[in-house]
Amino acid sequence: MQYSATDNALHPMDGKPAPADSDAAPLLVEDIGDDQGAAWDAFLGTQPRGSFYHLHGWRGINQTQFGHRCHYLAARRQGRIEGVLPLVLLSSRLFGRILCTLPFVNFGGIVAANGQAESSLLREAAATADRLDADYLEIRAANPLDTDMAASLHKVSMTIHLDPDPDTLWKAFASKHRTNVRRVYKHDVQVHAGGMDLLDEFYDVLAESWRNLGTPIYRKAYFREILSRFPDKTRIFVCRQGDKPISVAFNGEYNGVVEGMWLGSRPEARQLQASYALYWEMIKDACERGFSRFHLGRSTVDSGGEGFKKKWNAEATQLYWYHYMPKGGPAPQLNVDNPKFRLAIAAWRRMPLKATTLIGPLISRSIP
């Protein structure tokens, strides 16, 4: 399907006229499928804001694993892509119809080579939300957008700037922090890196960790497909005490950046502070393999998670969660801080682990 850059010229999203460039060929926005994934990824590779989460392979993952309808919008001029925006529609009786970029991961949003492409994709995202009768559109952007949509600023991305020599980073840590890292290794702790071979251990620990937090888990097949589609762009880390896995992480890798995606720990890992060893081994691995940055995932502003990541000299960068409400009303609050979910979270923590791995995927697929 194609849309001209002048379509929806006075869309209620911002009430501003569409940009026009009489000296240039028309800019068209297309909803593209799997047959154009290579062109999508080729464009992404030319853009500094392109991320692991924007890769076209996620379209198939979200469709196959969750059954979600995906709209991958590309702004083209004379056949050449100038901007992309991946959108996923989540629909459930419990949470309504949510059009999101991107659910289940740290962020998404628009990657554009110029302002006209960005504006065209913004307008078409809102128009798509209207056509799909969505309750709201959520754009989880890593950079500010030129829009009148309301933005939530409660999340930040924590980033470590790496060095080819991990010892350079080690020496920059506070003395107390280095002591905390060394202390963990005195308890028969080792960290192992791999991929599909570590999936079972990763999932077992993550499922227990999320149950203890009151968070529904995704099914194991979701992580398996991510590993299958991106075998050279994903890495699992497992921290073991003796032979028992106690702390785990799942990272994505793209364009010189490591993306910290999922973490989980068993109670004994928290007692040992095993996360110190896990983080340090991941940082060393990223340095030695030539990455320039390590995104330690997103954190709530002024939270304990943000404080822990700052110990690794990670810098906070603002994330922008924009909302467009086609039917009016306030922006939604689908997060653990919402008092409406406190009883459900408390009940989930008391459930048998096996039950949460069976029921959890039925719920988590609808929570962006």
**pLDDT-derived band of residue 20, with 50, 70 and 90 as boundaries?**
very low
pLDDT in tens, 270-316: 999 999 999 999 999 999 999 999 999 999 998 999 999 999 999 99
Instruction: Specify the domain boundaries for CATH 3.40.630.30 within the chain.
Output: 2-152+320-332, 156-318
Predicted local confidence at residue 341, as pLDDT: 81
Handedness of CA 49, 33, 124, 100 (dihedral sign): negative
The pLDDT of residue 336 is above 80: no
262: closest CA among 280, 246, 247? 247
Q: What is the mean pLDDT of the chain?
A: 92
Position 24 scores a pLDDT of 64
Looking at domain 156-318, its CATH architecture is 3-Layer(aba) Sandwich (3.40)
Q: Which residues of 213-244 are buried (b: 16+ CB within 10 A; e: fewer)?
A: ebbbbbbbebbebbbebbeebbbbbbbbbeee
H runs (alpha helix) in the chain: 37-44, 57-66, 115-131, 166-172, 175-184, 199-213, 220-229, 267-272, 275-288, 304-310, 342-349, 353-364
Segment 262-266 mean pLDDT: 98
Mean pLDDT across the stretch 90-110? Answer: 94
- pLDDT value at position 2? 52
Q: Is the domain covering 2-152+320-332 a CATH 3.40.630.30 domain? A: yes
pLDDT at 206 over 70: yes
**Mean pLDDT across the stretch 104-110?**
97
Phi first, then psi, for residue 135 (nearest 5°) are: -75, -35
Whether the CB-CB separation of 29 and 120 falls below 8 Å is answered with yes
pLDDT in tens, 134-193: 999 999 999 999 999 999 999 999 999 999 999 999 999 999 999 999 999 999 999 999
Give the three-class secondary structure for 230: coil
